[in-house]
Amino acid sequence: MGTDLSIVLPSKNEALSLSTLLPAIRQAHPTAEIIVVNDGSSDNTSDICGELDVIELKHPYSKGNGAAIKAGASKAQGKTILFMDADGQHKPEDINQLLDVFNSGYDMVVGARDHSSQASIGRLAANKVYNRLASFMVGHKVPDLTSGFRVVNAEKFKKFLHLLPNGFSYPTTSTMAFFRAGHSVAYTPIITNKRTGKSHISLTKDGLKFLLIIFKVGVLYSPLKMFTPISAVLFGLGLLRYAYTFISFGTFTNMTALLFSTSLIVFLIGLVSEQITMLIYQSEKNEP
């Protein structure tokens, strides 16, 4: 790939891992542009970057993984950008595997982790929920929605930077954005190492955020596809309630009216959201 390849690593207090990871990446891809986004680290990340002659983008305080990704992508000069974690989980020797698939005609290629590569049982269960929801929404099997090891077409990826959150859900958002825009997405299996140091994600602390991500996935990709089943369930409950009260008491109750009206409101919200989503992606396609 030569200088057409930029490798972006968001990093927060990952100096220990970077000291061995960066030389391995440089040896495997000597002409690649390597960008470390130092997201408010309190360790010697800057010293490591200086010693190994890589580009460092330094945040004065931690802005989040997604913010680091956006900063690195904006700085990257390559036509192809590869994102990988700085904690040592992703193997430099797997980079060529992703690039080989990417060069066969895809716009995004994601390294899909197997069960043994998940950090915990809880994380595995959560990822299964995300993967199934995403597969339902896009109509294609999505084996790993949240993997941060991916290679993308830089021009197309940068068009969606404004959609990416500052937190940990950038893989989810970027994947759904590429599917929605009609870009080609592929997955290739990888096995990750055990991370160096402590994870910055807490299932208990970030649990609510992950639940919100599930809804965001649906709304980002196809709101109507997500809101219609909810509307149908409410409408069905309204019919059952009406049948029961009419047969038993010959009345039409306030609860029945509430269920019917809520069903209609939910459907209209989905319809309006669908139109807004279509306008967003249409504007992206029309950009030069």
- What pLDDT, on the 0 to 100 scale, is given for residue 2? 44
Determine the Cα–Cα distance for residues 10 and 168; give it in Å rounded to an integer.
11
> For residue range 129-152, what is the model confidence (pLDDT) as tens digits?
888 888 888 888 899 988 999 999
Measuring CA to CA, which residue among 83, 281, 106 is closest to residue 177? 281
- What pLDDT, on the 0 to 100 scale, is given for residue 189? 94
Q: Are 110 and 147 in contact (CB under 8 A)?
A: yes
Q: Are 142 and 39 in contact (CB under 8 A)?
A: no
Which tokens belong to 199?
Answer: 């994870």
Measuring CA to CA, which residue among 24, 18, 22 is closest to residue 87? 18
Burial class (CB within 10 angstroms; exposed 0-12, middle 13-18, buried 19+) of 60? exposed
- What pLDDT, on the 0 to 100 scale, is given for residue 72? 97
Q: Are 144 and 158 in contact (CB under 8 A)?
A: no
Determine the Cα–Cα distance for residues 82 and 190; give it in Å rounded to an integer.
15
Model-level pTM?
Answer: 0.82
Map out the domains of the chain as residue ranges: 2-219, 223-286
Measuring CA to CA, which residue among 218, 140, 143 is closest to residue 184? 140
- What pLDDT, on the 0 to 100 scale, is given for residue 165? 86
- What pLDDT, on the 0 to 100 scale, is given for residue 57? 97
Which tokens belong to 228?
Answer: 């219609």
Instruction: Tell me which CATH homologous superfamily contains domain 2-219.
Output: Spore Coat Polysaccharide Biosynthesis Protein SpsA; Chain A (3.90.550.10)
> For residue range 94-126, what is the model confidence (pLDDT) as tens digits?
999 999 999 999 999 999 988 665 555 666 777
Q: Are 29 and 210 in contact (CB under 8 A)?
A: no
What H or E segment, with its residue span, contains residue 182? Answer: none
Determine the Cα–Cα distance for residues 235 and 122; give it in Å rounded to an integer.
34
Determine the Cα–Cα distance for residues 272 and 266; give it in Å rounded to an integer.
10
Q: E strands along 49-90, which residues?
A: 55-59, 80-83
Low-confidence ranges of the chain (pLDDT < 50): 1-2
DSSP codes joined into one string, 65-113: HHHHHHHHHHH--SSEEEE--SSS-S-GGGHHHHHHHHTTT-SEEEEEE
C-alpha angle 272-274-280 in degrees, rounded to nearest 5: 105
Q: Are 109 and 151 in contact (CB under 8 A)?
A: yes
Q: Are 144 and 127 in contact (CB under 8 A)?
A: yes
- What pLDDT, on the 0 to 100 scale, is given for residue 126? 74
* 36 three-state secondary structure: strand
